[in-house]
Copies of this chain bind each other. A is one copy, B any other.
Amino acid sequence: RINGQRLWDSLMELAQIGATPKGGVKRLALTDLDKQGRDLVVSWAKQAGLAVTIDQIGNVFMRRAGKNPALPPIMSGSHIDTQPTGGKFDGNYGVLAALEVVRTLNDHNIETEAPIEVAFWTNEEGSRFVPVMMGSGVFCGAFSLETAYAAKDTEGKTVGDELERIGYKGTEVPGQHPIGAYFETHIEQGPVLEDADKVIGVVPGVLGLSWYDCIVTGMEAHAGPTPMALRKDALQISTKIMQEVVNIGNRYPPYGRGTVGMVQVFPNSRNVIPGEVKFSIDLRNVSSELLDTMHNEILAFVDKTSKDSGLSISVERVSYYPPCPFHPDCVNAVREATATLGYSTMDVVSGAGHDAIYTARLAPSGMIFVPCKDGISHNEIEDAKSEHLEAGCNVLLHAMLGRAGV
């Protein structure tokens, strides 16, 4: 069993770096604060006797030797960068839970067959630099190192320069690092576990996701003198599509998701009929077939709405992550560890993307979820219970030991 108090204390100590007045954390990728956070985790790893490797995109791997150095390491980790108004647990928990596993093995002088590695991936959040999950994405070859280096923040600073500046541009070629299996513990970021009063979520996979930008172009006109019949109101037409996005999410339960999160209205003036509205569409589901169906339905609806209204409507896909089922071996390892430890449990498909969807392209991967308060994340009030974090870490310990061999 791991030491829950030590895990909690480490989480709280790391959360000091970039702590916000409202109890959250602001530690954006590749800032000075990210460097301080990285340095602290690396110093803890060194105290625990781990050997540290950094790759060219700044992913950090911290290795505890195994009896058989020829075996690929059993790895666990996540990220320590946060949202601008982020919390203490998202990502950080996954990294420090992995470190706590190592500390526990050290406490009990347990030697494993395969090496054990703790990892943190660069810029998972994608808040300062897009795309999200950048470090693990480069690692698995989803996009190139050059693309990632060239990404700019709002001030025009690049990932390449910022990595150099904070001293985390390593030498190892991304993806050259072997992985035997990868586990990631994470807060659920949703309300399902709390709602069902369960402690451990076994994660069979991650929903696929399609992101779109939709632009409806009408005719800007004065709200007073323009009769209803002569209007081309871009917002009214947009509301129909916004509702259909949610209808589509509802049409494919239990994993269908349809969300409009971002809206810009032009010129956005009280007495002007909107001439243009731009909004985002986020569709998710568990299989490519279902996600493709949802994709086709929104495109057909937009087409019909444009024809019916006579307004021009463009919809462009801006991101796509296919559904990611995790490897049965890893899912079962988590399920069995949970049963052995006797925690209440249920399967929870991850609705959000995680670094594990990229490691899954290279090695058997799996995830362990624990509840977070009210399902809230990406928010300074994000919260989780110490006993749940401890339980998730115990499951991680057992799942990793099972894969690494004692």
Q: Which residues of A contact B (CB under 8 A)?
A: 188-192, 195, 207, 209, 211, 220-228, 230, 233, 235-236, 239, 242-243, 246, 249-250, 253-254, 256-263, 265, 268-274, 280, 282, 284, 350-353, 375-379
Residue A236 contacts which of B226, B242, B262, B273 (CB distance < 8 angstroms)?
B242
Nearest CB of B to A234, in Å: 11
Chain B residues near A273: list those with CB within 8 A.
Answer: 259, 261
Bound CA span A195–B352, Å: 52
Q: For A188, A246, A250, A284, which residue has the most chain B Cβ atoms within 10 angstroms?
A: A246
List 4 extra interface pairs beyond A236-B260, A239-B242, A239-B243, CB under 8 A: A222-B351, A223-B282, A227-B253, A228-B256
- Supposing A224-B207, A226-B351, A249-B228 touch, asked if A261 and B236 sit within 8 A by C-beta, the answer is no
Contacting pair A268 B262 (CB below 8 A): yes
Bound CA span A189–B222, Å: 7
Bound CA span A5–B192, Å: 74
Q: Can you tell how many copies of this chain the complex includes?
A: 2
Contacting pair B209 A224 (CB below 8 A): yes
Contacting pair B261 A224 (CB below 8 A): no
Q: Name the residue of chain B whose CB is nearest to the CB of A206.
A: B224
- Supposing A195-B230, A211-B270 touch, asked if A235 and B222 sit within 8 A by C-beta, the answer is no
Contacting pair A259 B271 (CB below 8 A): yes
- Supposing A227-B190, A282-B223 touch, asked if A263 and B257 sit within 8 A by C-beta, the answer is no
Contacting pair B225 A236 (CB below 8 A): no
Q: Name the residue of chain B whose CB is nearest to the CB of A352.
A: B224
Q: Name the residue of chain B whose CB is nearest to the CB of A258.
A: B228
Bound CA span A233–B190, Å: 14
Bound CA span A214–B230, Å: 25
Nearest CB of B to A222, in Å: 5
Q: For A195, A236, A268, A353, which residue has the most chain B Cβ atoms within 10 angstroms?
A: A236
Nearest CB of B to A3, in Å: 29
Chain B residues near A225: list those with CB within 8 A.
Answer: 188-192, 350-352, 375
Nearest CB of B to A227, in Å: 7
Contacting pair B377 A222 (CB below 8 A): yes
Nearest CB of B to A275, in Å: 9
- Supposing A230-B195, A242-B239 touch, asked if A353 and B270 sit within 8 A by C-beta, the answer is no
